[in-house]
Amino acid sequence: MKKRFAILVCAVAAITATIAAQKQGGSAGSDASFEKWARASIKATNSNDSAWMQANLDDAYVEGTSYGAWLTKAQLLKDAADPANNKFNKDEVSDLQAHVSGNIGTARFKEAYDAIIEGQHRARTIICTMTAEKQGNGWKGVSNHCSKIE
């Protein structure tokens, strides 16, 4: 009887530990959901979709650009309202990898673009890391950082 009770306790503990581990780490479904959000974020930023940015970026959002500047959510929205001086002529995203850990999602990707940014022509290839937090049923972008590679 004691042996059966000990086995039962061990089984319950193992099941509980497995469930807890699954809640802490990302799953294929949550990774795919976040990847979809990350792609939408890139598209919205590069197409000046201020409604998407307003709804999906945290008010404290900050971006570190590959040309050495910090951009806040307010600055991104201001730039989006000026498409004559902020537009992408070409944008190719590759090697996007998304992962969710708990309620934090990170995406890493490579991006080659040709654009006018704040009135200046820029064409380069960059690598970026994007971070977002799961809030309710959706994601809120909190940070993005890119570095020039070519």
User: Mean per-residue pLDDT for 17-32?
Assistant: 55
Residue bearing the bigger pLDDT, 24 or 72: 72
Assessment of whether the complete model's pTM goes beyond 0.85: no
SS3 assignment, position 114: strand
Going by DSSP bridges, is the β-strand pair 70-72/104-117 parallel, antiparallel, or unpaired?
unpaired
Confidence of residue 106 (pLDDT cuts 50, 70, 90): very high
Confidence of residue 30 (pLDDT cuts 50, 70, 90): confident
- CA neighbor of 93 nearest in space, from 117, 114, 71, 109: 109
Residue 44, C-beta contacts closer than 8 angstroms, at least 6 positions apart: 52, 53, 56
For 4, 5, 11, 43, the CA distances from 1, given in Å and listed in that order, are: 5, 6, 15, 62
Average pLDDT, the chain: 86
For the chain, list the domains and their CATH numbers: 27-148 (3.10.450.50)
Confidence of residue 19 (pLDDT cuts 50, 70, 90): very low
**Integer-rounded Cα radius of gyration of the chain:** 20
Give me the sheet containing 104-117, strands edge to edge: 70-72, 57-64, 138-148, 120-135, 104-117, 87-101
